[in-house]
Structure 1
Amino acid sequence: MFPGVICIELNQPPLMVIKPGESFSIGCKITGYSASGGDCTNWIRHSAGKALEWIGWFCSSGNTGTSDTMKNKISFTAETSSNTVFLRGQSFQTEDTAVYYCARNTQ
């Protein structure tokens, strides 16, 4: 390791296929910061042919936010024992087809 360099790693499942209307959960396993230590994790999606879209964030303090387009479709939770943040989705339709990413919030 290099002095002063911090390694942050976020691991997600490689592929999930969800049928319209199904509920699902995407886990984001965190290494390098704590899901319960006050840090925040953002969620972003990328639909084919469109720009990246921020859809929400989860902070271990309980502070969360969701974009207007995803209100009533997503929620967030954390499992401190595995240091994992979850995006939980419901009522997704074909227009929600995208690659979903988690990303650490920079302070």
Structure 2
Amino acid sequence: GADSSIVLSQTASEVPRPGEALKLSCEVTGFDVNSYWMVWVRQTAPGKSLEWLASVGASTSPEYHSDAIKGRFRASKDFSRHIFFLQMNSLKAEDTAVYYCARESQRETFIQELYKNLPSDTN
């Protein structure tokens, strides 16, 4: 069942202009951030499917980004403060969406198996 002790707190609403940059943050409590992956997704309109943007690995694992945002958006983490970030640069009108951070339901070892064949983009 759902664990009511887990809390994900995100940045308040922001409305940047095209071409500007914005950094989203997601502070988490109630679970070990070293044991789970976090993901960033967005929903461009009510009723539309969620679009995966990035996965942030636990501990020293790499980050993965969708082709749609590579080069413009960058996911990162600050484990000491339990905060995950999504730096968004060169924003476009089509980036207008509701952005969510979420925790993967499976633990680090399982998720790492899913990602192990993907190339890392942490250059």
Whether contact under 8 Å (2:6, 2:29) holds in the other structure is yes
Whether contact under 8 Å (1:41, 1:59) holds in the other structure is yes
Matched, 1:45 2:42: yes
Structure 2 counterpart of 1:17: 15
Matched, 1:69 2:68: yes
Can you give the 5+ residue segments of structure 1 that lack an aligned partner in the other structure? none
Whether contact under 8 Å (1:78, 1:85) holds in the other structure is yes
Query: What is the RMSD computed on CA atoms of the aligned residues?
Result: 1.6
In the TM superposition, what is the alpha-carbon distance from 1:39 to its structure 2 partner? 2.1
- TM-score when scaled to structure 1? 0.84
Structure 1 stretch 41-50 or stretch 6-15: which is displaced more?
6-15
- One-letter amino acid of the structure 2 residue matched with residue 44 of structure 1: V
In the TM superposition, what is the alpha-carbon distance from 1:14 to its structure 2 partner? 2.5
Structure 2 counterpart of 1:27: 25
SS in 2 for 1:27: strand
In the TM superposition, what is the alpha-carbon distance from 1:10 to its structure 2 partner? 0.5
Cα distance between partner residues in 1 of 2:56 and 2:87: 12
Percent identity reads: 34
The C-alpha deviation readout for 1:59-89, integer Å capped at 9, x for no partner, is: 1323211111111121122223321010111
- One-letter amino acid of the structure 1 residue matched with residue 49 of structure 2: A
SS in 2 for 1:95: helix
Whether contact under 8 Å (2:41, 2:51) holds in the other structure is yes
- TM-score when scaled to structure 2? 0.74
